[in-house]
Structure 1
Amino acid sequence: MNRRRCATAAITVVCALTVLASTGQAFAAPEPPPTAGTGATAPGTPGAPKKSLEEVRKEIDALYRKAASATDAYNLAEERAEKQSAEIVRLAQEIVKGEARIDDLKNRAGAAARAQYRGGGLPPEAELVLTDDPQLFLDGAGRIQQGHKATKDLLGELTRAQADLAAYSKDAGSQWKKLEASRVKREKAKKEINDRIAAAKKLEDRLEKAERARLIKLEQQAEYKAQTSWLSSGVLKDISADASEPGKKAIEFATAQIGKPYVWGAEGPGSYDCSGLTSKAWAAAGRTIPRTSQEQWRLLPRIDVKDMRPGDLIIYHADASHVGMYIGDGAIVHAPRPGRNVTIAGAGSMAILGVVRPDK
């Protein structure tokens, strides 16, 4: 049964590779390596030695990888800024309520003082001493005791309200500082993202049309080689679990986005980055998960690759800067990078860091 299942999976993957190769979206069968001397002019001063097209491919890939890592930093700072802004709003509401409460308590304290003034200005104890009626004395003693307790309670409540107000004000100030720090991180990450993407596009734009086409082939060959190596390890023979019901819904959402462009920081509906796609897919399945691939790796339950099932998220690269959703038969759906669309690719076409399960 396992051998038959492996054969079926292998056939499915090969078919998928063939289809994807024809569309130019994921990976293709390897082609003969470029002949000696084939290359692209490296950026720099005129007369600089030429870099091979493969070297240029690796350089572009490294730039996009760094942009992806910066995108995660941007998304995390954005998420934290939203939470901090919401907390500032909540604290501001508490401060308004606290100020109103203090005004009310001060008014009640003032009313008590005015009542004493209308009584001749004498404190209740003095008035009690001056009475010669024993029953009035006893009744008055009780009222004085109650009055003292009420005054003590009023002052205690006023003190607590003032302390709460001071705490809310301090917390609001702290949240403002955190919000500003998140804004600075966001702007720094945004600049790095734009710089890396611009550098990668500049490298691509310097290539001739034939070289750009060849570059795409090289990308596909690198993915195919990694995927073939992953499959040849026999990993699929241990992966046999079916998707959960929420997992099926997440896959349905994610695969419906195929063909939409990658845009860093995007969460749909017209475009996505890698973690924007996975977080929205699982939100559509009724599960709220962290926004970034790094937080998904840090916070979601981890699963052994052999126990992986469709709907699980595969985290890639040592810095957890990329994520795709496993859809079965050795494939993922993911948003690759700028200049590419949401597509299906080999689950092993990139360096796997690990697997996480949103609905464990």
Structure 2
Amino acid sequence: MSGRLLRLACTTAVAAQAVLAPVPAAAAPDPQRSVAGLLTDLQQLYRRTEQATETYNATTEQLKRQRAEVARLDGELADARLVLRDSRTEAGRLARQQYQGSGGLGPYVRVLLAPDPQHALDEGHVLAELARERARTVARLTAAEQRKDALARAARKALDAQLGLAARQKRQRDDVRGKLADVERLLAGLTPAQLAAVARLEQQGVAAAQQRLTTAGALPADRAAATPAGDRAVRYAMDQVGKPYQWGAQGPDAYDCSGLTSQAWSHAGTPIPRTSQEQWNRLGRVPLNRLRPGDLVVYFPEATHVAMYVGGGKVVQAPRPGEKVTVSPVASYPVLGAVRPGTAGTVGTHRDGPVRLR
């Protein structure tokens, strides 16, 4: 944790993720402002930024699924139009045949006047089959018309939903950018001495929280063996150490917190949800003291941050803007609980709710 804030102050362009316009430096903080107060402000800003990021990620996943649904419906609509065209062609052929045979005696009269009763009976069967074929053709035409109309309505509705999601995604993207700008302004107003003091206080808080977890027996006493898939996920995540955090990123050059965990497990052959909230809600939960490498530790009451347990009381994570993928203590942030990919549903929650670490 040491040096995080100093690195952030030296890399303002990184904090904006290359999408923010330059912002004026904030006024210097009140000299009487406590270091603890500054740290609290920064932590709150980072937390709000990560909440906005995960909301943006969730909408991005919805938009991706909706685009696939629009493409599927468009394909089905194109097929339905071809079927309708063929049905109309067949109906037209039957109509022409009926029109061309309308002169002279009707087909049923010709049957009645036939000199050979057996021939008349045979011809009657033929006429009956023709009538049934015409009925089937009309039924196919009607069904094709109805399917085409239904698919056209569904396609329009799906496209409207896609456009709505795209607009929501843009608003959420702007929200993330605004919150990153707030972080940048606060950092720009801190002196080097304040930055160093805030970094020290943050490191002390994490060390104390980690000690409390260890003393309380909340972490595994021994390093449990990872499953083959868990081992692959950990190795993938560890290979990303040193790559930058970038909100909304899923690699290979940069990651946000859930982008790292979802990609690691995808490469291990076990796809999991994209966002930290969905990982918390849809994966089976495990007690902290039964963690094994590859399990995911979820943070904050809203489940807005996630990291991967690697053993020894450590996690690998993409921490926040301005930082890089790193190995940290489990207690880097307030722990909500842990989940295990490869299991579904909730198999238990932390007895007392979120673990308040600092």
TM-score (norm 1): 0.84
Residue in 2 that maps onto 1:73: 55
SS of 1:235's equivalent in the other structure is: coil
Q: Is the aligned partner of 1:355 residue 2:338?
A: yes
Residue in 1 that maps onto 2:282: 299
Q: Could you list the per-position Cα deviations for residues 244-279 of structure 1 after superposition, in whole angstroms to 9, with x for gaps in the alignment?
A: 000000000001111111000001111100000001
SS of 2:342's equivalent in the other structure is: coil
Q: Is the aligned partner of 1:310 residue 2:293?
A: yes
Report the CA distance between 1:237 and its aligned residue: 4.7
Report the CA distance between 1:205 and its aligned residue: 0.7
Cα separation, 1, equivalents of 2:238 and 2:163: 38
Residue in 2 that maps onto 1:102: 84
Cα separation, 2, equivalents of 1:47 and 1:204: 10
Report the CA distance between 1:207 and its aligned residue: 0.8
Cα separation, 1, equivalents of 2:63 and 2:71: 12
Between the two proteins, the alignment pairs up a number of residues equal to: 323
Contact preservation (8 Å) 1:246, 1:359: no
Higher mean alpha-carbon deviation, 283-292 vs 184-193, is at: 184-193
Contact preservation (8 Å) 2:314, 2:330: yes
**Residue type of the partner of 1:151?**
R
Contact preservation (8 Å) 2:29, 2:189: no
Residue in 2 that maps onto 1:186: 169
Cα separation, 1, equivalents of 2:112 and 2:83: 36
Aligned residue among 337, 340, 350 for 2:323? 340
Higher mean alpha-carbon deviation, 119-128 vs 87-96, is at: 119-128
**Residue type of the partner of 2:97?**
A
Cα separation, 2, equivalents of 1:271 and 1:338: 11
Q: Could you list the per-position Cα deviations for residues 167-219 of structure 1 after superposition, in whole angstroms to 9, with x for gaps in the alignment?
A: 21121122112212211221121111111111011101111122222222222
Cα separation, 1, equivalents of 2:251 and 2:298: 20
Contact preservation (8 Å) 1:57, 1:219: yes
SS of 1:301's equivalent in the other structure is: strand
Q: Could you list the per-position Cα deviations for residues 8-48 of structure 1 after superposition, in whole angstroms to 9, with x for gaps in the alignment?
A: xxxxxxxxxxxx76xx469xxxxxxxxxxxxxxx967x996
1:9-20 matched pairs, under 5 angstroms: none
Cα separation, 2, equivalents of 1:307 and 1:47: 44
Residue in 1 that maps onto 2:135: 152
Report the CA distance between 1:118 and its aligned residue: 2.6
Contact preservation (8 Å) 2:219, 2:290: no
Cα separation, 2, equivalents of 1:184 and 1:240: 47
Cα separation, 2, equivalents of 1:68 and 1:102: 50
Cα separation, 2, equivalents of 1:48 and 1:351: 28
Contact preservation (8 Å) 1:254, 1:281: yes
Cα separation, 2, equivalents of 1:192 and 1:259: 27
SS of 2:341's equivalent in the other structure is: coil
Residue in 1 that maps onto 2:147: 164
SS of 1:357's equivalent in the other structure is: strand
Contact preservation (8 Å) 1:294, 1:320: yes
Q: Could you list the per-position Cα deviations for residues 25-76 of structure 1 after superposition, in whole angstroms to 9, with x for gaps in the alignment?
A: 69xxxxxxxxxxxxxxx967x9967422221111111111111111111111
Residue in 1 that maps onto 2:252: 269
Contact preservation (8 Å) 1:231, 1:348: no
Contact preservation (8 Å) 1:239, 1:306: no
Say if 1:168 and 1:238 are closer, same or farther in 2 by CA, change over 3 A. farther
User: Which runs of 5 or more structure 1 residues have no equivalent in the other structure?
Assistant: 1-19, 27-41
Residue in 2 that maps onto 1:214: 197
Aligned residue among 19, 37, 44 for 1:62? 44
Q: Could you list the per-position Cα deviations for residues 114-136 of structure 1 after superposition, in whole angstroms to 9, with x for gaps in the alignment?
A: 12233344653344344343123
Say if 1:127 and 1:271 are closer, same or farther in 2 by CA, change over 3 A. same
Cα separation, 2, equivalents of 1:249 and 1:50: 50
**Residue type of the partner of 2:172?**
A
Q: Is the aligned partner of 1:196 residue 2:179?
A: yes
User: Which runs of 5 or more structure 2 residues have no equivalent in the other structure?
Assistant: 6-24, 344-358
Residue in 2 that maps onto 1:13: none
Q: Could you list the per-position Cα deviations for residues 276-327 of structure 1 after superposition, in whole angstroms to 9, with x for gaps in the alignment?
A: 0001100110111111001111111222223221101111110000000000
Say if 1:25 and 1:202 are closer, same or farther in 2 by CA, change over 3 A. closer
Cα separation, 2, equivalents of 1:293 and 1:286: 19
Q: Percent identity?
A: 37
Contact preservation (8 Å) 2:293, 2:309: yes
Cα separation, 1, equivalents of 2:188 and 2:271: 40
Residue in 2 that maps onto 1:4: none
1:317-336 matched pairs, under 5 angstroms: 317-336=300-319
Say if 1:297 and 1:55 are closer, same or farther in 2 by CA, change over 3 A. same
Aligned residue among 97, 102, 125 for 1:142? 125
Say if 1:99 and 1:256 are closer, same or farther in 2 by CA, change over 3 A. same
SS of 1:358's equivalent in the other structure is: strand
Cα separation, 1, equivalents of 2:167 and 2:134: 50
Say if 1:47 and 1:236 are closer, same or farther in 2 by CA, change over 3 A. closer
Cα separation, 2, equivalents of 1:215 and 1:130: 108
TM-score (norm 2): 0.84
Contact preservation (8 Å) 2:220, 2:291: no
**Residue type of the partner of 1:233?**
A
Contact preservation (8 Å) 1:239, 1:307: no
Higher mean alpha-carbon deviation, 300-309 vs 315-324, is at: 300-309
